[in-house]
Structure 1
Amino acid sequence: MHIKPAARAHALALLACLAWGALTIWLLFLSAKSAVGVSEYSFRRLMGGPGYLLVEQLRGLSGEAREQRLQELQRRFQFPLTLVPRDSVELAPEAGVMLDNEHAVLGVSEEIAYYALDRNTLIQFGPMWGAAAMEDVLNLRIYWLTAAAAALPLPLLLLAAWHRRRKRAATLSALSSSLSQLARTPALILPTASAEWAPLLAALQQHAHHIAAMSERHKEVSQAVSHELRTPLARMRFALALLERGADDDTRRRLQERLLKDVVELESLVRASLAFARLADAPAALAREPVMLRSWLQEELDALELARQPAELVIDTTARELRGDRALLHLIVRNLLVNACTYGHGRLRLSVANHGSGHIVLHVDDDGPGVAREDRERIFEPFVRLMPHDADNTGHGLGLALAKRAAHWQQGDIQVTRSPLGGARFSLLLPLRLD
């Protein structure tokens, strides 16, 4: 699943806010904890006085009297007081020397201290800080005021993110309701959205115009096909009517030949129309096979059966092959050659040359009447024939349209100019490698 850059940025911003809030709370916790902490040296000096006073109170007492007095003194302290045997406590070697010299020492836990009552008994202070000290800090109003001030941006950012998400959901809902109408009404004004939606809205609008243009082209092609079908169908209907009236054998034979010719023309029109419709969209699988230039072009010329029309092949390129869809390449060159044979007067030249880096250009030249400058774009439209009354022109005006569209899917282009032979020059620009 692909995540858009804007959504990824918002997610990262939200994650950063959460991390910032957690870090702020953690730093406040460390600050509060450090506020109640003291150094080991200060701690020993701090506990030296209470230890000395307790020893003075408990010295000379033993047994139950000592324990009773210790419980009475316990009420004056905010941390536990306990008498423990000296040999039951694990202390560092230097701790024994400090105890013998009437100094307090820290135990394994920094929350517990010891002071020597006598050579066999120690007074244990603590645990003394821990949760009790932190609770005192947490009860301070300044702590919570500081925490609230530090965490204030977090809910604001969350609120802004929620508002942005809600606005985006509303925009998506409006776009979804508009998309169903956009294909039918390309001029539909899309809902107003923020700048980040501008590329999407522009793409949708352009896509709608493309769909509308494609629909219009299909409509024009359908109308043109209908128009092309009327003439042979009318002739066939007329011929059938004459046959029903009982024409003589010679007339019947001519009518049957006319009917057969009209059927062939209809089949040709249907095949050409289907081929044009198939190329309306990109081919499902565009082949990228190697095609040897010289042998391929020679085969195309040989397939035309130009026994009565000389054809010249000129190879002026360092490239020996190109990679592309052989069927599309054959369709393009065949239609260009057939067009040159149809309108040329006797000479035809097929040449290929380098065109920049990674491209070649194929020129199909004839010595016919050529194409007027104002018709050089229109000639590639479907069902356009510049000389419809020419008796030799038996096509449907789809050959060049097919070649143009096939060249587009082959990542190439076709242009028409004036030929050095005096007629038309159709130039096919092709990449040597498809992207």
Structure 2
Amino acid sequence: MPRKRFLLPGRFEQLRLFGRYYLRIVGSFFLLIILINGGLTRFFPEYEQGDLERLLRGTVGLVRAEYLRTKADDWPALSARLAREFGYPIRLNPEKLPLSARTGLIGREWAIDEGEVTAYLKLPHGQTVQIGPLREALVLSKQRLLSPEKTAELIATLLLCIAFGLVLYRWYREFWRDIVGLLATAEKYAAGEFAARPPPAETKLFSPLTRGLKRMAGRIETLMASRQAMSQALSHELRTPIARLRFGLEMYLDEDDATERERQQAGLIADLDELERLIETSLTWARIQRGDTRLARAPLAIAPWLAELVAPLERAAPDTTFTLTVGDGVIATVDPDQLGMALRNLVTNAVKYGGGTVAIGAERVGDAVRLSVEDDGPGIPEDARERVFEPFFRLDASRTKSRGGYGLGLALSRAVTRLHGGTLAVDTSPLGGARFWIVLPDAEPTDPDA
């Protein structure tokens, strides 16, 4: 069943998603305002009382001014006229003042009875004016949704929401572009396009993710290229020993002479050993490439370790002269087995392609330990000094086949060196051939993809 490809979101999806979350944010904002106002009114009555005083201050001032301009004898008629003009009761000298009004008028010109929403005004000669109750008038005022004040508040609120939305959308677009860029890159990776890289992030929030995705893609691309190269090289390398085994087995079965059969049997065993070495070397390389190899680092005295490492190689190559030069007290924190495999590959390579002299050295240079392997062979051309570390690369295919090897030794040596946080390079030796350098820092190795 074909995989359903995810479609990248377009402008409509961007606006739809923004609108949904924007409405949630604004709705939550208004709900919070309503809850806060309701809580203040319920638990802090003085909050509402302050609003009521501000609301009635102008009315009380106008009424007081009218009474002070009018003679005291005409106050009853004035009260009736003001009641008609204002549209709510205005009484002169009410029969009984509530307790809140009596206490509120002590030391003040006017007071409010909150229960009935009524104002009481103190006049000269000990008289009092009752303005209200105003509760019905306030209720009618609240029901006027399109009053000028509420219309202005509504327009101001809408303008504030629009301005807030524009600013929020400006930020949102940057995040959206980063998300779409990462999603598009992920889709390319899903299609096998590991050479793709995400666009630079516009926000600091996505910058670490973008860098991590680039490192991951580079790592996957390297692994895939290495895997493809290994698959092609292995398929090529396996053909020769398998063909020799098939041909040798046919000759062995057809041979009647016992001596010749023994020789054919020895050849078959040698071909099987070659296949085993090829498979083991390839598996070691694959483990290192997958990151499955863990180093057992420990302080190591280089001089005795090198002597022990070179001894069996000297016995295996009696026609080669080995020279070992190690500085005093050189110690490195390494994995002896893994580093030994890397150095053994370099020495074996020098024996194969050298002219009979191999020089091995070790010294401390600053905060690092430097190992060197030199030979007096033809050397390595300058334009091929990086390619020789590629897996299955042969500088001279015919000469390499005649002397054995699969083109993995130098690649393994560099991989192990990098596991230690070091470097491996090659240049020209004073002996005339190639000189390989391994530089190992004392510090712990870092991730090469970081």
TM-score computed with the length of structure 1 as normaliser = 0.66
Relative contact order: is structure 1 or structure 2 higher (C-alpha 8 Å, sep ≥ 6)? 1
1:266-415 mapped onto 2 (5 Å cutoff): 266-281=275-290, 283-284=291-292, 286-287=294-295, 290-295=297-302, 298-306=304-312, 309-315=321-327, 320-322=331-333, 328-344=338-354, 345-354=356-365, 359-386=368-395, 388-389=398-399, 393-415=403-425
Show CA shifts across 1:369-392 (max 9, x none). 432323322322223344644798
> What is the one-letter code of the residue matched to 2:326?
V
User: Relative to structure 1, is the Cα distance of residues 45 and 241 closer, same or farther in structure 2, using a 3 angstrom cutoff?
Assistant: closer
Deviations 1:15-63 (A, max 9, x none): 9x959x97xx99xx9xxx99x94796x776434246678986897xxxx
| Cα 1:84–1:115 shift into 2, 3 Å | farther
> What amino acid is the match of 1:312?
L
Mapped to 2, the partners of 1:228 and 1:337 lie a distance apart of: 23
Decide whether aligned partners of structure 1 residues 247 and 230 sit closer, same or farther in structure 2, where only a CA change above 3 A counts. Answer: farther
CA distance in 2, matches of 1:342, 1:146: 88
Give the C-alpha shift of residue 217 in structure 1. 4.4
How big is each residue's C-alpha offset from its partner over 1:385-421, in whole Å with a ceiling of 9 and x where there is no partner?
4464479833222111111233334443211011234
Within the candidate set 80, 96, 99, 1:85 is matched to 96
Is 2:64 aligned against 1:48? yes
Query: RMSD of aligned C-alpha atoms?
Result: 5.4
**Post-superposition CA distance 1:103-160 (Å, at most 9, x none):** x322476965323589999544346596666667951155655555555435656777
Hey, what's the Cα distance between the residues in 1 that align with 2:161 and 2:107? 50
Residues 18 and 396 of structure 1: is their aligned pair in 2 closer, same or farther, counting only changes over 3 Å?
A: same
Instruction: Identify if the C-alpha distance between structure 1 residues 117 and 239 changes in structure 2 by more than 3 Å, giving closer, same or farther.
Output: closer
Work out the CA distance in 2 between the residues paired with 1:165 and 1:290.
44
Q: Is the 8 A contact 1:315 1:351 kept in 2?
A: yes
- Decide whether aligned partners of structure 1 residues 174 and 394 sit closer, same or farther in structure 2, where only a CA change above 3 A counts: closer
Once the two structures are TM-superposed, the CA of residue 266 in structure 1 deviates from its matched residue by: 1.2
1:39–1:265 Cα change, 3 Å? same
Match of 2:4 in 1: none
Is 1:328–1:410's contact at 8 Å kept on the other side of the alignment? Answer: no
Does residue 431 in structure 1 map to residue 441 in structure 2? yes
- CA spacing shift, 1:203–1:112, aligned 2, 3 Å: same
Q: Equivalent residue of 1:273, what SS?
A: helix
State, as a whole percentage, how many aligned pairs show the same letter.
26
Q: Distance in 1 between matches of 2:224 and 2:211?
A: 20
How far apart in 2 are the matches of 1:247 and 1:363? 52
CA–CA distance in 2 between the matches of 1:270 and 1:135? 89
After TM superposition, give the deviation of residue 178 of structure 1 in Å: 4.5
Partner of 1:65: none
Match of 1:105 among 89, 92, 110: 110
CA distance in 2, matches of 1:303, 1:206: 37
Tell me the SS of whatever aligns to 2:250: helix
Structure 1 unaligned regions, length at least 5: 1-6, 60-68, 99-103
Q: Is the alpha carbon distance of 1:164 and 1:227 closer, same or farther for their aligned partners in structure 2, counting shifts above 3 Å? A: closer
CA distance in 2 between partners of 1:401 and 1:337 (Å): 14
Segment of structure 1 superposing worse, 414-423 or 327-336: 327-336
Cα pair distance change 1:163/1:353, threshold 3 Å: closer
Q: Is the partner of 1:305 in helix, strand or coil?
A: helix
Query: What residue in structure 2 maps to residue 63 of structure 1?
Result: none
Rate the CA distance shift 1:195–1:234 in 2: closer, same or farther, 3 A. Answer: closer
Give 3-state SS (helix, strand or coil) of 1:247's partner. Answer: coil
Could you tell me whether the CA contact under 8 Å between 2:201 and 2:210 is conserved in 1?
no
Distance across 1 between alignment mates of 2:427 and 2:75: 120
> Does the C-alpha gap of structure 1 residues 285 and 168 become closer, same or farther in structure 2, counting only changes over 3 Å?
same
The alignment partner of 2:405 has SS state of: coil
Tell me, yes or no, if the aligned pair for 1:239 and 1:255 is still in contact at 8 Å: yes
- Partner residue in 2 for 1:139: 147
Alignment correspondent of 2:238: 229
Work out the CA distance in 2 between the residues paired with 1:118 and 1:202: 83
Q: CA deviation at 1:248?
A: 1.1
Structure 1 residue 280, shift from structure 2 partner = 2.7
Task: Give the letter for the 1:427 counterpart.
Answer: W
Q: Normalising by the residue count of structure 2, what TM-score does the alignment of the two structures yield?
A: 0.64
What amino acid does structure 2 have at the position aligned with 1:348?
A
Q: Is the 8 A contact 2:389 2:410 kept in 1?
A: yes
Report the residue type matching 2:301 in the other structure. Answer: R
Deviation by residue 1:168-221 (Cα, 9 ceiling, x = unmatched): 88777766654443439x6x9x99x99859999999899878766754543443
- On the 8 A contact 1:112/1:124 being kept in 2, the answer is yes
Select between 246-255 and 224-233 the one with higher mean Cα deviation. 224-233
Q: What secondary structure, in the 3-state scheme, does the structure 2 residue paired with 1:396 have?
A: coil
How many residue pairs get matched?
A: 390
